[in-house]
Amino acid sequence: MDGAIMQRVQVWKDGKYDDAAKQEIARLERENPVELADAFYRNLEFGTGGLRGIMGIGTNRINKYTVGMATQGFANYLIQTYPGGIIRVAIAHDSRNNSRQFAEITANVMAANGIKVFLFEALRPTPELSFAIRHLGCQGGVVCTASHNPKEYNGYKAYWNDGGQLVPPHDKNVIKEVEKIDSVDEVKWSGGEANITIVGKEVDAAYIDMVKSLSVYPEVITRQRDLKIVYTPIHGTGITMVPEVLQRFGFANVHVVEEQSKPDGNFPTVVYPNPEESEAMSIGLKKAKELDADILLGTDPDADRVGIAIKDKQGNWMLMNGNQTAVLAFNYIIEARKAKGIAQKNDFVVKTIVTTDMIDRIAADNNVKCYNVLTGFKWIAELIKEKEASENYIVGGEESYGLMIGNKLRDKDAVSAVALLCEMAAYEKDKGRSLYEKLIDLYVQYGYYKEHLISITKKGMNGQREIADMMDGYRNNPPVTINGSPVVHLLDYELRKGKNLQTGSEWDITLPISNVLQFILADGSKISARPSGTEPKIKFYFSVNTTIKSAAEFDSIQVHGELDKRIQGIISDMGLK
């Protein structure tokens, strides 16, 4: 075993670590030295979003020691930033194994540093933590979750005083403070228990009231209260809020998927507890078919992502992708506010640069500003903070199944999204239609946009280098054509430059630096290349579109085939197969 790894292992064997950790080290030394090396070969990176990793002993794992050290670094930065004042922090957790323990450790360390802590009494959705930070006047927050990752994972997301995840300069500054913590001996593990307040029902009530206030057509729900809804929390925190919120909205015919209703960090019925995966929605889909439901909805373990399924005109169920759900939600909020007379001249919406441009068209057609930000809801939150004095945020979202409706919190919120998506279904049903038919009408009006995503992993020690070389090639020698269509614009978010490849003209991109490239083709296609910052993985997002004259034309195989062929042609021409 490498000497540096052995040294890290020895620190744990000799240091103030519990007997269980030392016994596990001894077992791995005997039985699985490869796993032991992986557990100690590096320090688990505290990135701009916090920690995420496999649970277990070691410096490269999520455990009470890595959580405690990260919390000490975060606490140190809070104390530096708010000297002499009372600092408040809210803490929540999801249904994963050990999440409660990690949340309590986080609370104890914060409290031992003299920080006033509001710790949720039990598991709660991540969006409620974002809301609580603002509601309780906190300077920061933490939620222990690994979102939709497999059961072996857990994590730690850090938030700032606006209820959004850390953004510059705070993200890098917190990272620096966390990296300064070299030993568990530097962590204040206990001694401030009096600073901890357990919260629950009062925050729940305020959060539910906030979500209820987002309803635009309560009178429609009254007429369609029997809308048949099937909901699955996929063993996560959604069960604590979603059924009650739907009941408060006025829906009286809600069916929870029993097999997935109990919070369980082992996620026994799924491989990945992610509503983006058809496998995770399959049990709910079966129940929806049995009941002939109107809509199926599923949320991930920390209830910040939502997936839905609806029926087409033949009654066949289809799982919507995140772009389709976002199109329906954005359009509904914009249209409903206009129809109700509550739209404001300074309303604006936000989406990420890899989310469908169909939303830009809908916003423009309704004279609503649409801003594009980098991938991640922290950038949506940051833009709201920048604009809130002069403009009115109404909805934001991204293609990866995230929506944030209204400005009372600063992270994606599947709880309010479920309620509003059900209201949308009720609104269409009240007119004798379906959400599917509404989506097709929007395609006729704005163009049929189709998106596709592929993720490529380059294995081995050279994986990161191969991906870096790939990006350098695109950046320095951009293709002149892709799939027969001229490349008109190259957008380089790392250099923060846009360039018209046909005229040579350039312009500045004002977004923060990010290693993303986008190619805009003459035929309206868009390709985005986005490497992971921590894994040897790169994602390619493809968006193509065409015009259709009628709903009947949408039903033709030819239209779908044309766009599928275009996407596959782009993939083939770029050598991504």
Helix (H, G, I), strand (E, B) or coil at 558: helix
**Residue type at 562?**
E
Q: How far apart are CA 313 and CA 448, in angstroms?
A: 18
Phi/psi at 281 (nearest 5 deg)? -95, 0
Partners of 338 in the beta sheet? none
- Give a three-class secondary structure readout of 485-524: EEEEEEEECCCCEEEECCCCCEEECCCCCCCCEEEEECCC
Type and span of the H or E element at 309:
strand 306-311
Query: Given the structure tokens 């922090």, which residue do they identify?
Result: 89
Report the C-alpha gap between 109 and 186 in whole angstroms: 11
Q: Which of 454, 439, 453, 499 has the alpha carbon at shortest distance from 474?
A: 499
In DSSP notation, 173-185 reads HHHHHHHH---GG
- Of the candidates 358, 328, 341, the one whose C-alpha atom is nearest the C-alpha of residue 433 is 328
Which residues is 403 bridged to in the sheet? 397
- State the number of CA atoms in the 13 A half-sphere of 540 facing the CB: 21
What tokens appear for 103 in the block?
């949340």
Q: Which alpha helices (H) appear in 32-98, and where do they start and end?
A: 33-40, 64-81
Strands 369-373 and 347-352 come out as parallel
Element (H, E) at 373: strand 369-373
- Closest C-alpha to 521, from 468, 464, 567, 456: 567
Q: Quick check: helix, strand or coil at residue 320?
A: coil
Q: Which residues are catalytic?
A: 147
Give the CA angle between residues 48, 54, 58 to the nearest 5°: 95
For residues 106 and 113, give the distance between their C-alpha atoms in angstroms, rounded to a whole number. Answer: 11
**Are 432 and 543 within 8 A, CB to CB?**
no
Rg (CA), the chain: 24
In 177-261, at which residue ranges do the beta strands (DSSP E only) sit?
A: 196-199, 229-232, 254-256
CB 44 within 8 A of CB 61: yes
Rounded Cα distance between 423 and 92, Å, is 28
On whether the CB atoms of residues 101 and 177 are closer than 8 A, the answer is no
Closest CA to 422 of 226, 281, 172: 226
Rounded Cα distance between 412 and 128, Å, is 10
Q: What is the phi/psi pair of residue 338, to 5°?
A: -65, -45
**Pairwise CA distance, residues 57 & 39, whole Å:** 7
